[in-house]
Amino acid sequence: MESILRSRPPIYNREEREKLREASRFNAQLMDYVRPHVKAGITTDEINTLVHDYTLQHGHVPATLGYKGYPKSCCTSINEVVCHGIPDDTVLQEGDIINVDITSIVNGWYGDQSETFLIGEVSETARRLVQVTFDCLFASIHALTPNCKVYDIGKAIYDYVKPTGFSIVREFQGHGLGRNFHQDPGIPHYPEKYAQRDVLRPGTCFTIEPMINEGLFGTEVDPRDGWTARTIDRKLTAQFEHTILMTEEGPEILTLTKEGPQEGHIF
Cα distance between residue 30 and residue 61, in whole Å: 12
Confidence category of residue 255, pLDDT binned at 50, 70, 90: very high
- Residue 23 · residue 111 · CB < 8 Å: yes
Count of domains observed in the chain: 1
What angle, 0 to 180 degrees and rounded to 10, lies between the N-to-C axes of helices 151-161 and 124-142?
A: 150
Residue 38 is assigned to a structural domain of this protein: yes
- Residue 99 · residue 114 · CB < 8 Å: yes
Query: CATH number, domain at 166?
Result: 3.90.230.10
> What digits encode the pLDDT tens for the residues 6-23?
568 999 999 999 999 999
Range of the domain at 43: 14-253
Confidence category of residue 211, pLDDT binned at 50, 70, 90: very high
What angle, 0 to 180 degrees and rounded to 10, lies between the N-to-C axes of helices 14-34 and 44-57?
A: 140
- Residue 229 · residue 171 · CB < 8 Å: yes
**Share of residues in the chain with pLDDT > 90 (%):** 97
Confidence category of residue 119, pLDDT binned at 50, 70, 90: very high
φ, ψ of residue 185 in degrees (nearest 5) = -85, 145
Residue 109 is assigned to a structural domain of this protein: yes
The CA-based dihedral angle spanning residues 235, 236, 242, 244, taken in that order and rounded to the nearest 10 degrees = -30
Q: Measured on CA atoms in the order 114, 118, 122, 128, is the torsion positive or negative? A: positive
Q: What is the mean pLDDT of the chain?
A: 97
Cα distance between residue 55 and residue 192, in whole Å: 36
Predicted local confidence at residue 7, as pLDDT: 67
Residue 187 is assigned to a structural domain of this protein: yes
Predicted local confidence at residue 1, as pLDDT: 45
Residue 1 is assigned to a structural domain of this protein: no
Residue 74 is assigned to a structural domain of this protein: yes
pLDDT of 223 higher than 80: yes
Q: What is the mean pLDDT of the segment spanning 167-189?
A: 98
- Residue 61 · residue 16 · CB < 8 Å: no
Residue 62 is assigned to a structural domain of this protein: yes
Confidence category of residue 5, pLDDT binned at 50, 70, 90: very low
Write the CA distances from 41 to 47, 84, 118, 119, integer angstroms. Answer: 11, 21, 13, 10
Residue 243 is assigned to a structural domain of this protein: yes
Residue 262 is assigned to a structural domain of this protein: no
In a 3-state reduction of DSSP, which class is residue 211? Answer: strand
- Residue 75 · residue 63 · CB < 8 Å: no
